[in-house]
Amino acid sequence: MDFKNNKTVLLFCLVMLLTACNNIPSTYTESTEKLNIYPDYSDVFIPSNIAPLNFHINNDASSYLTRIYSTNGKSILVKGKDVQIRVNDWKTLLYNNKGHDLFFEVYLKQGKSWTKYPLLTNHITSDSIDNYTVYRNIQPLYTTYEDMSINQRNLENFDVDVLIDNRLYSADNDPHCINCHSFQNYNSTGNMQLHIRGKNGGTVLAFHNKLKKINLKVLGLKSGAVYPAWHPTLNYIVYSTNSIGQNFHSKNPDKVEVMDSRSDLILYDIEKNEVTKITDSNDWLETFPYWSPDGNYLYYVAAHFKPKQDSIETEIQTETIFNYENIKYNLIRKHFDQKTMTFGEADTIFSASTIGKSATFPRVSPDGRYLLFTMANYGNFHIWHKSSDLYLMDLATRELKNIDVVNSPEAESYHSWSSNGRWIIFSSRREDGTYTRLYISYFDNNGKAHKPFVLPQKDPLFYKRDFKSYNIPEFIVKPVKTNSHKLYRVACSEAEVATLTK
Amino acid sequence: MKVKILNWSAFGVFILFALYMTLGQNPDFLRKLQDLDLFLFNGPFFLDSMHQVGGLSMYLSSFLNQFFFYPLLGSLLLLILLIVVCLLTAKLFKLKGWLFPLAFIPSLALLLSMTELGYMIYYQKVDGFAYNNIIGVLLAMTGLWAFQKLKKLPAKVFFAISYLLVAYPLFGAYSLLGGLLMLLVSLKNYFETKQRTALILPIAILPSLLLIPIFYYEFVFEQIAFSDIYTAVLPNFKLNGSEILLWMPYLIIAVFFIVMALQKWNKLQTKQPLLHKIVPAFVFLSCLTVVYVFSFKDKNFNTELSMQAASENENWDKVLNLARKQQEEPTRLIVLNTNLALYKLGLAGDKMYHFKNGNKKMKSPRMILPIQIAGTLFYYQYGLTNYCNKWCMEGMVEYGLSPSVLKYFVLSSLLNGEIKVAKKCNDVLLSTLFDKAWALKYQKYIDHPESISKAQEFKNIQVLNAYDDVLDGDYGNMEAFLKNHFSHLRVVPKELSELSVLFSLETKNIERFWPRFFQWVRLNPTKKIPIHFQEAALLYERLEHKVDLTGAPFDVAVKANFSNYMEMVQQYGSYPEESLKQISYNRFGNTFWHYYFFVKDPLSKEKEDKEYKN
């Protein structure tokens, strides 16, 4: 027997066997039944640089074969119930097929025969998405808090960097809350801030490549600084100052109400370390500031609420609780003169209260044309309101545009525009009503929003097993340069106390 | 021959003692250990564990801990591991012959580290904490054993550093114990040989002990505070107050190993042969005594655990049997559980004051509230599913997933119509070894939500959901919240009529009592008015004279008893309060009247505030 020939034959058989396993079945029946996959990655518009849309096939079969293809280039074949696509293959496919449809062709072997399911079709847009998003990873907590982190996710793959984890900062019996990460102009300047709450807390600021800690609990203010908004070009941050309370529903499915009993707006001058009041009224609750992309307008929300007893804090809080359904916020903006550094009068952009609603989180698109906001039946902390949805206003006409396609029966809340204005990332509890996930929706240049898709994960079943929520998603164009230990060291340092100017 | 008898006796004593201290003392405690910790046999769970310092130790510990689901099985497994520790100790430190009883010291200390816990089990955040110590000690000894087997110096240096580099991320503080033992043995060798080359090992090991944890902290792990890097995987006991005693077993282990590493048994054997024979046995017996004395023993704690276990199976008769056996003053949790059982059996109105009442402080070194222990159970059983859900989440946030919170999360979510969340939690339980059966039982409700309203077990709870929504909070004070919730209902639905009267009795609020009492009477025209309701009505009528009870269908015996009570009050009214209280208790301790006059509200405003702040 010729051993060399036998080796060749064996090798040939092996190759045939392998390729046979990876070949599309030549005979199959066509099913009209829609394939049941999780997450739902069908009929969505995706960026050309998004990470692979790995998914799980819920239908039962003995074998699974998925072919992913588009107009150009090689198709990708994946075996198994979990369709996990190699990042490089995926990137190549998307790069070569911008503007084309993307197809998932799935075959299931049940018994001895294969069944081909209807094609799942998505569309690869020519518009890319910002490379990163930063969010807080936290359990949907009520009063206690334990482990949470602010993470930076590379949207082109599955890499996650932990910017800061509160367990670095917290001894076991002294947990700290980290929140309100915020960037100037999509982190293009490298300037960012976040708060650390708890013993020796403060605000950590990354400014001109230096880290510092500041104390914004300034004497003369009703409370410390809370929700931030960086001016896109100037070295200012507007904050709201909020006296926040939290109460629980004994029966209402919304479960939690987070309410302000007092809130105002302040302007923080980073270079001078000075705070100036923008609003200071006991009759109005002003919060959630946000600058227009050109820096000429400050948007925020305001609700009229005049407590009967405006000097006793506990009484005000009690009144807030009794009136929680009546506190409704409108969308306001003030013109900002960048030369004189002064604000104009308040201009009501949208009176949500007149239609029995309450608006929050105003976000102007990068081209200045649209205003995206969240609206629910009352209040401002809408992640706890199932009635909360996203709304879009055309700022030129002040008309609301229908973006029902992005909404669901569960809460939709915090949202951000990508730097090119083509993508919206937002938090939603549509999956199960409790755990917040991040969804991405395409916003085309005709002003139309498209069906959103959940932030892809390497493990398709990741969200099923994950007991943490994702909140405050912010797009950034370049990664954060610091690391958790540097941030931690600054967080442990003494804070510079800001001063209040008149 | 004598020494063999001694050693086998020591073995026998140890086995019986260990089983007595675990299984014999309180099997419900062992079950609770399992209930508070989760183990899943899947990749993501393993990977999540590995993200923490000491992750492998916690993973293995959680794996072993789950067997406490069957207390006998768990106890036997624990015993086997303790014996392994003993045998390894004997082998490693050459504790043979008369010295063998000393080998039990680490095992006894490890046993104490579990039996001393008591209420501290509710504060432990390290996964599988009951077994972390055992695994850690085994690792340290195995490391030392391997280190001693190596003869060549370069091999020893390489091994010591590699051991710390590999073991620290996987086993945390116990890897440092192993490293410390290697250091001590190396130092001992240096002092014995006086060779300069013998210094190389200590010079290599000491900085490694200090720097390797820092290296991992700086470059690898994001989830640990710097203050914890040398104590990772150790329990979170404080170093002051009464908790300092909880460190005793750890101190014993550390001292034991240090002494063993530096000892010279052959000198003791030759110079003091009598001591060599007697001391080990004496030390062994002393350690047994120490373990027994310092183990946590509290009848109320045991009763609470047993009641909770019975309540979770809705075995209300068992709860009352336990309550009947109560000798000493009960904790609030025992009282609450007793009242819950009475209500569920329809006996509260007649028997609520027949059981011991009290407010004995929980014997915990750290302040602990009933809501932390059993908030989910009580809120669920009283139909407050949102609050049950809330405390499940609080538990998950602070202590991680456990069968205990997952089950109540499933139950409360099912009743709230949150089927997807119920499924999410139930899927986790389906992946466990021992809670899978429970999960399978409730999976059918997830698959067919329409069957929830038809199931009797849910009907009993759903019926209590008939209240209007209120926006408020419990501020960590479950008892006060329940009292206020039921006695302050603005509109009392018929389903909650009995509870609203019962809690009005508890609050001693006369104004709230009357409308609720009359509503109950209207809704139950053919039922006998519960005895305590009659007692309250008679008393309140006597105190205020606002309601005419003429013709009320009260028991003759109750009325007669009330007359007797009034006579007693008149007769002994001038006595000091404590004396009158005792007289009242002796004759009328099982009545509402005694409760009204002499049982103080355990939850005064000041105490509520203090407890909440803590």
The verdict on B198 and B246 lying in the same domain is yes
**What would the mean pLDDT of B76-84 be, rounded to a whole number?**
97
The verdict on B254 and B167 lying in the same domain is yes
Q: Are the beta carbons of A234 and A271 closer than 8 angstroms?
A: no
**Cα first-last separation, chain B:** 59
C-alpha–C-alpha distance, residues B471 and A77, integer Å: 54
Interface mutation target, options B397, B421, B612, chain A, most CBs of A under 10 Å: B397
Q: Are the beta carbons of A106 and A57 closer than 8 angstroms?
A: yes
Q: Are the beta carbons of A461 and A38 closer than 8 angstroms?
A: yes
The verdict on B39 and B78 lying in the same domain is yes
Q: Are the beta carbons of A480 and A187 closer than 8 angstroms?
A: yes
Q: Are the beta carbons of A149 and A136 closer than 8 angstroms?
A: yes
Cis peptide before A118 (omega within 30 of 0): no
Q: What are phi and psi of A136, to 5 degrees?
A: -100, 135
| Residue B452: alpha-carbon gap to chain centroid | 31
Structure tokens at A264: 């105002």
- CA-closest candidate to residue B590, choices B359, B358, B346, B351: B351
By Cβ distance, the residue of B397, B398, B473 closest to A248 is B473
Count of alpha carbons within 13 angstroms of residue B226, beta-carbon side: 13
Task: Look at residue B106 and tell me whether its pLDDT is greater than 80.
Answer: yes
- Asked which of A6-15, A466-475, B55-64, B538-547 is least confident by mean pLDDT, the reply is A6-15
**Cα first-last separation, chain A:** 100
The verdict on B254 and B336 lying in the same domain is no
The verdict on B287 and B336 lying in the same domain is no
Q: In this predicted structure, what is the pLDDT of residue B270?
A: 53
Greatest CA separation for chain B:
104
Going from the C-alpha of A152 to that of each of A440, A482, B2, the distances in angstroms are 16, 11, 69
Per CB-CB distance under 8 Å, the chain B contacts of A433 are: 418, 420-421
The verdict on B284 and B389 lying in the same domain is no
Q: Are the beta carbons of B465 and B416 closer than 8 angstroms?
A: no
Q: In this predicted structure, what is the pLDDT of residue A450?
A: 97
Task: Look at residue A58 and tell me whether its pLDDT is greater than 50.
Answer: yes
Q: What are phi and psi of B320, to 5 degrees?
A: -70, -35
C-alpha–C-alpha distance, residues A116 and A32, integer Å: 9
pLDDT band at residue B327 under the 50/70/90 scheme: very high
- Asked which of A327-336, B1-10, B115-124, B197-206 is least confident by mean pLDDT, the reply is B1-10
For residue B257, tell me if it sits in a domain.
Answer: yes
Q: In this predicted structure, what is the pLDDT of residue A22?
A: 57
Q: In this predicted structure, what is the pLDDT of residue A7?
A: 61
**What would the mean pLDDT of B465-491 be, rounded to a whole number?**
92
Cβ <8 Å between A465 and B472: no
Going from the C-alpha of A114 to that of each of A24, A29, A37, A109, B511, the distances in angstroms are 10, 6, 18, 4, 75
How many folded domains does chain B comprise? 3
The verdict on B211 and B306 lying in the same domain is no
For residue B472, tell me if it sits in a domain.
Answer: no
For residue B153, tell me if it sits in a domain.
Answer: yes
Pick from B256, B276, B294: which residue ends a domain?
B294
- Range of B573's domain? 528-613
Count of alpha carbons within 13 angstroms of residue A96, beta-carbon side: 13
The verdict on B159 and B237 lying in the same domain is yes
- CA-closest candidate to residue A46, choices A470, A487, A440: A440
| In chain A, % of residues over pLDDT 70 | 94
C-alpha–C-alpha distance, residues B412 and A394, integer Å: 43
Cβ <8 Å between B386 and A250: yes
For residue B562, tell me if it sits in a domain.
Answer: yes
Task: Look at residue A16 and tell me whether its pLDDT is greater than 60.
Answer: no
Residue bearing the bigger pLDDT, A267 or B268:
A267
Pick from B465, B490, B510: which residue ends a domain?
B465
- CA-closest candidate to residue B290, choices B256, B335, B262, B313: B256
Strand partners, A162: A151
Q: In this predicted structure, what is the pLDDT of residue A142?
A: 73
C-alpha–C-alpha distance, residues A438 and A475, integer Å: 12
Q: Are the beta carbons of B154 and B200 closer than 8 angstroms?
A: no
C-alpha–C-alpha distance, residues A153 and A161, integer Å: 6
**What would the mean pLDDT of B78-94 be, rounded to a whole number?**
95
Task: Look at residue B60 and tell me whether its pLDDT is greater than 90.
Answer: yes
Structure tokens at A342: 């002064």
The verdict on B38 and B177 lying in the same domain is yes
Residue bearing the bigger pLDDT, A260 or A482:
A260
Going from the C-alpha of B12 to that of each of A55, A423, B17, B347, the distances in angstroms are 57, 72, 8, 48
- Asked which of A165-174, A211-220, B339-348, B451-460 is least confident by mean pLDDT, the reply is A165-174
Mean pLDDT across chain B, nearest whole number? 92
Q: In this predicted structure, what is the pLDDT of residue B309?
A: 96
**What would the mean pLDDT of B18-28 be, rounded to a whole number?**
93
Q: How would you classify the pairing of strands A210-215 and A225-230?
A: unpaired
Question: What is the number of H-type helices and E-type strands within chain A?
Answer: 6, 36
C-alpha–C-alpha distance, residues A345 and B94, integer Å: 86
Q: In this predicted structure, what is the pLDDT of residue B491?
A: 84
- Give B510-518's long-range contacts (Cβ < 8 A, gap of 24+): B510/B540, B510/B543, B510/B544, B512/B487, B512/B488, B513/B537, B513/B540, B514/B540, B514/B546, B514/B547, B516/B487, B516/B492
Q: In this predicted structure, what is the pLDDT of residue B263?
A: 78
Task: Look at residue A392 and tell me whether its pLDDT is greater than 60.
Answer: yes
For residue B287, tell me if it sits in a domain.
Answer: yes
For residue B273, tell me if it sits in a domain.
Answer: yes
How many other CB atoms are there within 10 angstroms of residue A472's CB atom? 22
The verdict on B266 and B316 lying in the same domain is no
C-alpha–C-alpha distance, residues B455 and B451, integer Å: 6
Q: In this predicted structure, what is the pLDDT of residue A20?
A: 47
pLDDT tens digits for range B260-291: 988 765 555 555 567 677 888 899 999 999 99
Per CB-CB distance under 8 Å, the chain B contacts of A168 are: 222-226
Pick from B294, B327, B344: which residue ends a domain?
B294
Structure tokens at A492: 């442990």
Task: Look at residue B14 and tell me whether its pLDDT is greater than 80.
Answer: yes
pLDDT tens digits for range A313-370: 777 888 888 889 999 999 999 999 999 999 999 999 999 999 999 999 999 999 999 9
Residue B234, C-beta contacts closer than 8 angstroms, at least 6 positions apart = B126, B172, B173, B250
C-alpha–C-alpha distance, residues A368 and A293, integer Å: 6
The verdict on B77 and B180 lying in the same domain is yes
The verdict on B456 and B567 lying in the same domain is no
CA of A272 vs chain B CAs: smallest distance (Å):
33
Q: In this predicted structure, what is the pLDDT of residue A361?
A: 97
CA of A386 vs chain B CAs: smallest distance (Å):
13
Question: A345, exposed or middle or buried, with CB in 10 Å at 0-12, 13-18, 19+?
Answer: exposed
Greatest CA separation for chain A:
103
**Which of helix, strand or coil describes residue A458?**
coil
Interface mutation target, options B461, B471, B488, B491, chain A, most CBs of A under 10 Å: B471
**DSSP H or E run through A358:** strand A358-364
Q: In this predicted structure, what is the pLDDT of residue B606?
A: 47
Residue bearing the bigger pLDDT, B490 or B63:
B63
Q: In this predicted structure, what is the pLDDT of residue B605?
A: 44
For residue B496, tell me if it sits in a domain.
Answer: no
CA of A267 vs chain B CAs: smallest distance (Å):
34
For residue B501, tell me if it sits in a domain.
Answer: no
Q: Are the beta carbons of A469 and A435 closer than 8 angstroms?
A: yes
How many other CB atoms are there within 10 angstroms of residue A489's CB atom? 13
Q: What are phi and psi of A279, to 5 degrees?
A: -130, 150
Q: In this predicted structure, what is the pLDDT of residue A228?
A: 97
Task: Look at residue A225 and tell me whether its pLDDT is greater than 50.
Answer: yes
Cβ <8 Å between B394 and A144: yes
CA of B222 vs chain A CAs: smallest distance (Å):
6
| Residue B241: alpha-carbon gap to chain centroid | 20
For tokens 């997450």, name the residue.
A39
pLDDT tens digits for range A162-220: 999 888 776 556 678 888 899 999 999 999 999 988 878 899 999 998 999 999 988 77
pLDDT tens digits for range B187-224: 998 988 888 888 999 999 999 999 999 999 999 998 88
Looking at this predicted complex, what is its ipTM? 0.91
C-alpha–C-alpha distance, residues B250 and A72, integer Å: 66
Structure tokens at B516: 């609720």
Q: What single-letter DSSP state applies at residue B193?
A: H
Q: In this predicted structure, what is the pLDDT of residue A3?
A: 44
CA of A15 vs chain B CAs: smallest distance (Å):
31
Cβ <8 Å between B225 and A168: yes
Structure tokens at A275: 């705070």
Cβ <8 Å between B44 and A431: no
pLDDT tens digits for range A38-57: 999 999 999 999 999 999 99
Task: Look at residue B241 and tell me whether its pLDDT is greater than 90.
Answer: no
pLDDT band at residue A309 under the 50/70/90 scheme: low
**What would the mean pLDDT of B14-31 be, rounded to a whole number?**
94
Q: Following CA atoms B425, B428, B433, B438 in sequence, which dihedral angle do they give, to the nearest 10 degrees?
A: 20
